[in-house]
Amino acid sequence: MAQIVECVPNFSEGRNKEVIDAIAQAIASVDGCSLLDVDPGVSTNRTVYTFVGSPESVVEGALNGARMAMQLIDMKRHHGEHKRLGALDVCPFIPVQGVTMEDCVQCAKMFGERAAMELGIPVYLYGAASDQEYRKTVPQIRTGEYEGLSDKIKKAEWEPDYGPAEFIPTWGATIAGARKFLIAYNINILGTKEQAHRLALNLRTQGRGPDQPGQISECQGMGWYLEEANMAQVSLNLLDYHQGGMHTAFEECVKDAKELKLGVCGSQIVGLVPLEAMLFTADYYIEKENLFIVGEDQKIRLVIERLGLNSVTPFDPKTRIIEYIVDSVEDGPLMSMPLRQFIYSLGSRSSAPGGGSASAAIAAMGVALAAMVGWLTYGNKKFEALDSQMRKLIPPLRQAMLEFIPMVDADTNAFSGFMEAKKLPKSTPEEQEIREKALQDGLKAAVQVPLNVIQTATKVWNQMVELAKVGNINSKSDLQVGARSLETAVWGAFYNVKINLQDITDETYKKEVLDEAESSLETAQEKCKEILNILEERK
């Protein structure tokens, strides 16, 4: 698994396109950095850049952006609605894939050390990178802002973690750290800056003070006026969307705004948002309104509509949801192929892709046919009485279909790992030991993927049986094909499990896996036969 760190530096320039573009180009020019988003704000006079890459490349990307900013931004002339401390105001590193929070702490420290040494700027650490409670959050460090920094930086307790303890008028200071994914979320208010700030005080965790805490956990907030849109915004940082999601913030804000007789007209996500956060919000509205929506694309549409995410600028899921634009989470090369090319690959003079990948593809198609029969039953006036039953049967079938898809590439990747292990040197006893362990690990990985196919199929046989009993009879043949396909896929996966078990030396592991595979194969045969018999008897 590739190591991916996200970096979201906020630079204090949101109006001069030449400066904004120059910083973007400086970041994107670093090998290994993928610049995903550039989000400038005119009123805030601030631009949020989002890019991903390996730990080493994102540190270099942030430094390159800072080098360019030092040439082009002069904090003596900077004014904007957003609080700020320096030209590169805040530079967080966030774990995305294959890295820990500690890895991101090391990124922040490496950035701070090099920025101080190469650029001569003061850098404060925050979040997981800081071990000083009184200066652990951005608001704590940013207190007094740029204008108060000249006096503040001279105090012993505010000596920077890196760089000179002196005020640099053109730059100010930079705050670097490591944190969880933060959602910058603004709610649009048809009112004044003061009214928006009043609502923000209701929402943010610290509220108005110890005796008047806010309504949302892990939330920072303030109000400002957005001149270019002629409206105010409740500007929130949702620090942990598991504890306080966008729907919670939006609904609470709407409720409080009504008490003040203020209109709420949608909201805005600044930068990128995790897919999970969008789906949490979708699930909230689905449950609240008793909706039946299982497709991910439809869930995203629901969130966009309910939160009014197109109200300030267009919200394009393909460019705003991080999982949709990070290369590592896209479909693998096999599933990205046209069907014709995939079949050609199977029929080529190569052992990969092979039977394991084919079995996963056949399983996906088999259960997809079952899901289709469910959809052709649901919402059909003739079968209206079955709607509640279809609401229970369709989601697990669709989920299994989605789970099978990445297994097509996973099987080939696991086989490739085993083949790479075979190339390891074996000249010395130590090399032989390392090679043998890698071979055994490779074989177990090669076993696990087809075993996952079998396990996933086992989870949906009962739903297919129930569908056979009541589903749209006009789609009888589709479910027959689906059942046979899923059974065939289980047989194919079973053969792949069995052949890869032969050379594994862990006898206990071999027995456990074989017992499970044989039992699941027996279940597949019984359930397939049951489905076909039920359908044959239905007219």
Q: Could you report the per-residue pLDDT of 302-359, keeping only the tens digit for each?
A: 999 999 999 998 999 988 888 787 654 445 677 778 888 889 888 988 777 889 999 9
Three-class SS of residue 219?
Answer: strand
Sign of CA dihedral 340, 345, 347, 352: negative
Residues 93-116: b if buried by 16+ CB within 10 A, e if exposed: bbbbeebebeebbbbbbbbbbbbb
Position 1 scores a pLDDT of 53
State the pLDDT at residue 338. 85
CA distance readout (Å), 39 to 29, 180, 300:
18, 20, 21
| The pLDDT of residue 323 | 79
How far is it, in rounded angstroms, from Cα 279 to Cα 402?
16
Residue 127 near residue 175 (C-beta atoms within 8 A)? no
The answer to whether 411 is a known catalytic residue is yes
pLDDT attached to residue 331: 53
Entry pTM: 0.66
* Beta strands 219-226 and 183-190, pairing class: unpaired
* CA–CA distance, 144 with 150 (Å, rounded to integer): 10
Tell whether the torsion through CA atoms of 496, 497, 500 and 502 is positive or negative: negative
Pairing of the two strands 46-53 and 183-190:
unpaired
DSSP H helices, 274-354, are 275-289, 296-307, 317-320, 322-325, 339-346
**What is the residue whose two structure tokens read 């939006």?**
250
pLDDT at site 423: 82
Q: What is the pLDDT of residue 326?
A: 67
Q: What angle do CA 81, 86, 90 make, to 5 degrees?
A: 85
Angle in degrees, 0-180, between the axes of helices 507-537 and 429-458, rounded to the nearest 10: 20
Out of 82, 103, 283, 478, which one is annotated catalytic?
A: 82
- How far is it, in rounded angstroms, from Cα 497 to Cα 504? 11
C-alpha to C-alpha distance for 506 and 462, rounded to whole angstroms: 33
Helix (H) or strand (E) run with residue 141 in it: helix 138-142
3-state DSSP assignment of residue 164 = coil
Task: Output the six-digit token pair for 506.
Answer: 């862990």
* Cα–Cα distance, 477 to 201 (Å, whole number): 60
Selecting among 39, 89, 161, 411, the annotated active-site residue is: 411
Number of CB atoms found within 10 A of residue 504's CB? 16
pLDDT of residue 328: 43
Active site residue 242: no
C-alpha–C-alpha distance, residues 372 and 475, integer Å: 9
Q: Quick one: pLDDT at residue 416?
A: 67
Q: Kindly report each contact of residues 35-38 with a partner whose C-beta sits within 8 Å and lies 24 or more positions away, as own/partner.
A: 36/272, 36/319, 36/322, 36/325, 36/326, 37/271, 37/272, 37/319, 37/320
CA distance 467 to 367: 12
Half-sphere exposure of 339 (CA within 13 A, CB side): 3
Distance, in Å, from the CA atom of 241 to the CA atom of 288, rounded to the nearest integer, reads: 19
The whole-angstrom distance between residue 248's C-alpha and the CA centroid of its chain comes to 20
Q: Which residues of the chain have pLDDT under 70?
A: 1-2, 326-332, 416-417
